[in-house]
Structure 1
Amino acid sequence: MRLSETQKDQIINELKISAIRSSGPGGQNVNKVNTKIELRFDLNDTAVFSETQKQRLATKLKNRINLDGVIVLFESSERSQLKNKQQAVAKLIELIEKALTPVKRRVKTKPTISSKLKRLEKKKQHSTKKQLRQRPDL
């Protein structure tokens, strides 16, 4: 399910974003600048989704939701705070869209006649190969 631009804007308005010190390589930039982004989205208090959508999100994203019903994401791949913030928001929206997309039901199909014949022909070839390997009867 694709989210509309108004829904995306509402989600962005409800986000709690904080910057913290990032770890890893980066030299003095790591020691001085808070570039790692911690993004929090409270699923229980949001007005963007209906109750059924909230329940679906809670079941699909249960590994990313803490006990308070808050989705917490961290992003620290870039050296820029702004780029990390943009990536974190994009990741959250992608997670939500993926979780709200209904699963397509698999349509059962029967094997075609040609595929059955191919399978039988391969079986025959395999059995003749095995028979040729056997020691001849004396």
Structure 2
Amino acid sequence: MVFITPKISVPDDELHESFVRASGAGGQNVNKVSTAVELRFSIVNNWTIPYDVKERLTKLGGRRVTNDGELVLFVQVHRTQEMNRKAALERFVELVSKAAEPPPPPRIRTKPTRGSVQRRLVGKSIRAGIKAGRAKPGDDDDT
């Protein structure tokens, strides 16, 4: 059982791991041992995660979620299979716990106070007077 939050946990049998050969660093070992981990979790077929968390998890997963509603995490950061398994599980727990957080409430727009509107208009008129004083004497006379 993988515990994500006090209310959310995922049974081990719903997480499917497969191992493939990793690219990159590792020397000759990289050609012999399957160290990269591909962790698969079916969001659609899961019954332990609430519906709203599943929706947020699908959005957070982005392109890592297949059309069938399966989350696929591919990890090949470390040279050993065990370290990559831990990293994949950590990423999974982090992603689900982030999806478990409820979104913040929408911002409620407020009106500016009468005093702040008045101060803004007074400041604008003062600034307009300053700029009007910069004009050359005769610019506004068209006759």
Please report the TM-score for the alignment, with normalisation by the length of structure 2.
0.66
Pair 1:23–1:59, CA change in 2 (3 A):
closer
For 1:97, the equivalent position in structure 2 comes to 97
Q: Which amino acid aligns with 1:4?
A: P
The CA deviation at 1:67 is 1.9
Q: Which has the higher contact order (CA 8 A, sep 6+)?
A: 1
> Per-residue displacement from partner, 1:116-135 (whole Å, max 9, x unpaired)?
9xx99x98xx99xx89xx79
Per the alignment, in what secondary structure is the counterpart of residue 63 of structure 1?
helix
Amino acid at match of 1:81: Q
RMSD: 3.4
**Deviation string for 1:41-65 (max 9, x for gaps)?**
1122222124x24652464235321
User: Which residue number in structure 1 is paired with residue 32 of structure 2?
Assistant: 32
Structure 1 residue runs of 5 or longer lacking an equivalent are none
Radius of gyration: which is bigger?
A: 2
1:86 is displaced (CA, Å) by 0.7
Aligned to 2:41, the other structure's residue is in SS state strand
Q: Which runs of 5+ in 2 are unaligned?
A: 138-143
CA contact (8 A) 1:26 1:79 kept: yes
Q: 1:56 maps to what in 2?
A: 55
TM-score, structure 1 as length reference = 0.68
